Structure 1
């Protein structure tokens, strides 16, 4: 049976059991456990400093009511970073290349921000559907457009994360396959291709972290509109 490059994005199955649950639980095992000492190790110190800076940058523009989301947004970003980085290891699987998983994360969080806005400030939430100073003939059209843009937000969140990770992983596999094929034919070109592969892997590590940050940042912007 001929294999496809896109087979790596299929959910792996062992004895008929999907391994999606195992891939989702693995990142929590990799996190270091906190210690009771005043001075912890360097890894925990770096992790704590990074999380503090992230929370400060993320929640500083948001009103006081949105600061209750600090814990869940921070946990979501750490979880997404771990899942994105997991796929860069050999013989592993990236759950965030599945659109179903990304939409399963994006839709509930987006819906929670919308419900909070409708509950706490319904007039301001509905005012986002019609920009101020709109001519009367354009009011129905703009309301329809703004409503569509509101409901397309979770889809954009999920598709953005899926597309970026899928494209990067697929490009890495294509370049790795080219380097392997060229090794016996043109060794010099194969070495150059391998160097490009290493550089692309470093870039993919940055993309995995940036896309997790962008996912949470956009959620915080949606939250900022509704608190």
Structure 2
């Protein structure tokens, strides 16, 4: 019986219980949380530095109205990047290779930004559907195109994250299988294949972080279009 390469992306179960639940809960167990006795150590300092730098970079160009989303966006960034990184470990499952999971991340936040824009600044939100200076005969066509592009945004977010992670996992699986087969037939080729697998693993670590950042960056851009208030020149955190 030939096993499909895509079987590795099926959600594993144990005694009828989907193990994806454990995969989704694991990232929250890896980060230090405030307690009664808050002891400063290197892990906490590194975690705090990362959150501050990321939040400043993402929310600096946003209006003041978008700064309310800092906690949610930062938590989602940490969650996705941790899921991506844990999925590179052997015998693990990556929930972010599932399109349904990524759509569950993208659709609610995208819809919330659209609803906020429609409630707080309906004129500006509707103006996005029609560029300035559009000829009158093209107005209906452009409105339809812009509406489709608006509703396709969450799908593009989910597909981008899913496709990049799935492609990387498939390449790692194929190259590792080739190295395992060649180790008894052609050891020299197996060594070269293993070196290629090591380099690809480093690349996938970078892809896991970059794709999580791109996912959140695009969400922040959608948020910027639909929030109001004076633009922020600099954000500072104590």
Q: TM-score range by the shorter chain?
A: over 0.9
Give the distance between the partners of 2:175 and 2:36, measured in 1 at CA. Answer: 46
Change in 2 beyond 3 A, CA 1:38/1:20? closer
Name which of structure 1's ranges 116-125 and 179-188 shifts more when overlaid on structure 2: 179-188
Report 1:141-220 matches (<5 A).
141-220=141-220
RMSD over equivalenced CA pairs, Å? 1.2
Q: Is the 8 A contact 1:34 1:44 kept in 2?
A: no
Change in 2 beyond 3 A, CA 1:110/1:195? same
Deviations 1:139-160 (A, max 9, x none): 0000000000000000000000
Task: Give how far 1:35 is off.
Answer: 5.8
Q: Is the 8 A contact 1:55 1:70 kept in 2?
A: yes
Corresponding residue for 2:59? 59
Tell me the SS of whatever aligns to 2:190: helix
Structure 2: give runs of 5+ residues left out of the alignment. Answer: 228-238
Q: Does 1:9 align with 2:43?
A: no
Give the distance between the partners of 1:27 and 1:188, measured in 2 at CA. Answer: 39
Corresponding residue for 1:122? 122
Give the distance between the partners of 2:38 and 2:75, measured in 1 at CA. Answer: 23
Alignment TM-score, normalising by the size of structure 2: 0.93
Structure 1: give runs of 5+ residues left out of the alignment. Answer: none
Give the distance between the partners of 2:41 and 2:176, measured in 1 at CA. Answer: 37
Deviations 1:42-67 (A, max 9, x none): 11111111110100010011000100
Task: Give how far 1:32 is off.
Answer: 2.4
Tell me the SS of whatever aligns to 2:184: coil
Task: Give how far 1:33 is off.
Answer: 3.1
Give the distance between the partners of 1:14 and 1:159, measured in 2 at CA. Answer: 28
Deviations 1:160-210 (A, max 9, x none): 000000000010000000011111111111101101101111110111111
Q: Does 1:103 align with 2:123?
A: no
Alignment TM-score, normalising by the size of structure 1: 0.97
Deviations 1:83-115 (A, max 9, x none): 111111111100000000100110000000000
Task: Give how far 1:2 is off.
Answer: 2.8
Task: Give how far 1:8 is off.
Answer: 0.8
Name which of structure 1's ranges 26-35 and 141-150 shifts more when overlaid on structure 2: 26-35
Task: Give how far 1:30 is off.
Answer: 1.4
Change in 2 beyond 3 A, CA 1:17/1:47? same
Corresponding residue for 1:29? 29
